[in-house]
Amino acid sequence: MKKLVALMSIILAVAFITSCGSKDPKDLLLDEMIGAYGGLENLKKLDSYTSVWAMEVKVRPQKGKVVTFVEQSGKLRVELLYPNRLEKRVLNGAKGYRAYNNDPLTEVSGPKLDSMKLQMMRLYSPLTLKNKADIVVTEGEGVMYITLKEGALTSVYHVNATTFRIEKVVGNFKMGPRDMEFQTEYSDFKKVDGVLMHHKENKFAAGMNTAELFLKDVKLQAKHGEEVFN
């Protein structure tokens, strides 16, 4: 049965590439994804949103909460609430900041900034990806890969060739002489106000399972004041 499913996925992927003809496979794939995620008008609701996640930390078993404020234009605020501390990470365009508990935000650079930029890339919607001119699309066994480079950072989006859902995002950047890899697996897809969203994330850093997140609440088209990102 598994072999049959794999074979059908390959056939569908090949059929997709073949059907492109003279059209750009990138545009066709992103159009399919936009349709799968709820359509153009619904996806615009992801231009600005807030989400709340329950967190189960794997490295040091404990529970917590993650609150994210997202703007597809390149603004991101992540608040990680652990039992004994609060960590805040903020990305505002090219600049990044971090703070703990009630301390003021302090500007960061290097790997700390790069990791926030990768997280922003991971949260790009199919509509945002469609507007990225330099993405590259390749095919695998039952999966389509979208590769996006922004400066020295690379994100690869693993798209199911049958459902056109993003099921995994792998991000890479250099940390000294080493390549640092972050991987997030998406599952439990459900629609929220017409928008398809994953409700579970399984996160890995350098091959180590670090946390699982479960979506508890989301506010689409949220209005964020400038103070959120400063």
In angstroms, the CA 76 to CA 17 distance is: 34
Any domain includes 14: no
pLDDT of residue 221: 97
Q: What is the pLDDT of residues 178-228, one digit of tens each?
A: 899 999 999 999 999 999 999 999 999 999 999 999 999 999 999 999 999
pLDDT of residue 175: 82
Any domain includes 11: no
pLDDT of residue 7: 46
In angstroms, the CA 220 to CA 48 distance is: 7
Any domain includes 96: yes
Segments in the chain below pLDDT 70: 1-22
Any domain includes 16: no
Any domain includes 147: yes
pLDDT of residue 174: 84
Q: Report how many domains make up the chain.
A: 1
Residue type, 157: Y
Burial class from Cβ neighbours inside 10 Å (0-12, 13-18, 19+) for residue 147 reads middle
Any domain includes 117: yes
pLDDT of residue 116: 97
pLDDT of residue 5: 44
pLDDT of residue 16: 53
HSE-CB of 35 using CA atoms within 13 angstroms: 9
pLDDT of residue 178: 87
Owning domain of residue 77: 24-229
Q: What is the CATH number of the domain that holds 149?
A: 2.50.20.10
pLDDT of residue 133: 85
